[in-house]
Structure 1
Amino acid sequence: MHYVNSKSILSAKNGMNLYRGCSHGCIYCDSRSEIYGMDHSFEDIEVKKNSLDLLKKELIKRSPSMIGCGAMSDPYIPLEKKIEYTRSALKLIDRYGFGFTCITKSDLILRDLDLLKRINEKTKVVVQMTLTTADDELCGILEPNVCPTSRRVEVLKTLNNEGIPTVVWLCPILPFINDSEDNINSIIDCCIESDVCAMLCFEMGLTLREGNREYFYNALDENFPGLKEQYIEKFGQNYVLPSPNNRKLMSIFKRRTSDAGILTDNNEIFEYLSQFPQKSIQSKLI
């Protein structure tokens, strides 16, 4: 890791990234893409040394609203266990009466359950969790340095039991790897059991561009010999790589989530995530 001083910490829409880079090792991660202009190794985590001071100043100036993080770097990477920047940010969010939502794959978020509950009691917290495969062994290949799916489902259940609403990101679904009916059905089963309020899905497939494409293909060579050539033959240099099973899998997804009362309209979900506070909508989703 290395420290830098940042000029700002909150975006115009109150997005926040305390870290830049990640050590989860997910083979498909778009944040590796060259388009983001990272000038250091992705695993050499950039820590914004002055981020908490900047955050405090911004929270004092702004009207209470939702603060979001995790779009570019998981706020609960292993480094967080040691330096606790995310936890410190939560204390500020709690102190100044803001709401909080984040995207993570890590069970480390349960360390901060006390703060999440306190914030949720006063305003609003929504935890977003990524699920890609119901198979823990495959999960260990696709997302090698983070807790397996079965543990993430336990986290979702714990959060639900504590009254904190959850949203699952069902993505990416990798062609010829996890794009099976059994996998999609199993993940939906997990979401129903965990009583998630919504599932985000942008069709079945993934995106690749310079930077993450090379990393992904190296991982395919290592773990799925011969599959890279199949990808190149079918998709070439395309940015969007749809699963050949997309239509069938999306039909299953829409039917089963509708039957279970799980919200899947992406626009409505993002609106819900950004609204502060909307206890009436939250109650409806729960």
Structure 2
Amino acid sequence: MKVKEIKAKTILRKHKKIDSWFLSRYGMNIYRGCIHNCAYCDGRSEKYNVSGDFGCEVQVKINAIEVLRRELDAEKKKMAAEKEFIMLGGGVGDSYQPIEEKYRFSRKALELLYEKDFPVSILTKSTLIERDLDVIKKINEKNKAIVSFSFSSACDKISSIFEPGVPSPSERLKTLKLFKKSGIPTGIFLMPVIPFITDKPEILNDTIDKAKKADVDFIIFSGMTLKKGRQKDYFFDVLKKNYPELIIDYSNIYKDNPWGNPAAEYHDYIQKIFSVISKRYKIPVRIPYYLFKDFLSENDLVVVILEQIDYMIKNLGGKSPYGFAAYSISKINKPLSSIKNDLRKIKGVGPATEKIILEILETKNSKYYEKLMAF
């Protein structure tokens, strides 16, 4: 492992719109690059400009906490009384990869977020997070903390091939149980599911069954992207060594889409399989309302609920106007409650969407949304 210490100008990233998958308005990468060396990692793509030998080198932002403190103070003034989730964990470096054991910057960041009164969403693959149970518990008691782990499956053998630098799925599940027993909300991001390997019904069923037994609050599913260049080349090298018979199948579904997405037919197929199995186990497939209802601005609450409605409708094979409406609302800088009489002027907002928005503004919820999310 090669470590390079660098100084960062910024740590906190404010998203243009709330990320309804992770509930975060803000994100941060304390480390750039990742020693976990997952074969499919999107962070390996040239798109993210991570220099060096990805998987073997990592850059440490040695002034991260100093910069973060300054940025949090500035954001706090802008946000006034609003509390917005900050996500610890990112696409170009796990915040709890092995280097964290030495530098402890993720722990220091959590201590600072507790001090500054922010709710936190954490995504990792590392059981090192157990070390910080005490401070995460304090954040959850004061505001809210959500601890999530990413999986490609619950199979230890497959994980050892594609996720060589991380604790096994069995170990990750034990850590999730520990946090849940400590009163902290937990979730699984089943992403990416690896085509023709971990997307088989029996493997998906095993993963979701183990998630249910770990008593997670939700499980969020996504397929695998392979962007042309370094990411795709590296993954294909691993595939050739372990599953050479699948090369042709992969070539058929990955046609160098600009975003690295597989063929739409394949995506729809695995989405349907996941939907059927997750319904059987009655696990929410989006972060549940009760975890975020008190921690979002009114506009962000509307955006998240509309996007979750959009996901559920499309998941059932229907067409939905709600995603576009949510996107339009995310660009509005004034509170929706101040323009209640002009909602129909927003692009994508028709009579049905207007009715839902007004209900959310009045009650902070939607009966239609509750119905869709019910099992």
Superposed, 1:151-166 pairs within 5 Å as: 151-166=171-186
Deviations 1:85-130 (A, max 9, x none): 1011111111121111121111111110001101110011001111
2:274 maps to 1:253: yes
2:100 maps to 1:66: no
Identity of aligned residues (%): 32
Deviations 1:71-91 (A, max 9, x none): 221100011011111011111
**How many angstroms does 1:245 deviate by?**
6.5
**Mapped contact 2:43–2:50 kept (Cα < 8 A):** no
Q: Of 137, 150, 153, which residue of structure 2 is paired with 1:133?
A: 153
Q: What residue ranges of structure 2 are gaps of 5+ in the alignment?
A: 15-24, 77-82, 302-363
Equivalent position of 1:262 in the other structure? 283
Count how many residue pairs are aligned between Structure 1 and Structure 2: 279
Distance in 2 (CA, whole Å) between partners of 1:231 and 1:254 is: 23
Superposed, 1:1-286 pairs within 5 Å as: 1-12=3-14, 13-42=25-54, 43-63=56-76, 64-72=83-91, 73-202=93-222, 204-238=223-257, 239-242=260-263, 247=268, 249-265=270-286, 272=292, 275=295
**How many angstroms does 1:66 deviate by?**
1.8
Distance change (3 Å), C-alpha of 1:11 and 1:235? closer
Distance in 1 (CA, whole Å) between partners of 2:121 and 2:232 is: 29
Deviations 1:126-171 (A, max 9, x none): 0111111221011100101100111111111111101111121111
**Mapped contact 1:106–1:152 kept (Cα < 8 A):** yes
**Mapped contact 1:103–1:128 kept (Cα < 8 A):** yes
Distance change (3 Å), C-alpha of 1:274 and 1:209? farther
**Mapped contact 1:205–1:246 kept (Cα < 8 A):** no
Amino acid of the structure 2 residue aligned with 1:251: K
Distance in 1 (CA, whole Å) between partners of 2:67 and 2:271 is: 42
Deviations 1:211-230 (A, max 9, x none): 20011011112222343344
**Mapped contact 1:101–1:126 kept (Cα < 8 A):** yes
TM-score (norm. length: structure 2): 0.68
TM-score (norm. length: structure 1): 0.88
Amino acid of the structure 1 residue aligned with 2:205: N
Distance in 1 (CA, whole Å) between partners of 2:57 and 2:195 is: 30
Distance in 1 (CA, whole Å) between partners of 2:264 and 2:98 is: 32
Amino acid of the structure 1 residue aligned with 2:32: R
**Higher relative contact order, chain-length normalized (CA < 8 Å, sep 6+):** 1
**How many angstroms does 1:275 deviate by?**
3.4
Larger Rg: 2
- CA RMSD, aligned part only? 2.7
**Mapped contact 1:165–1:197 kept (Cα < 8 A):** yes
Distance change (3 Å), C-alpha of 1:59 and 1:6? same
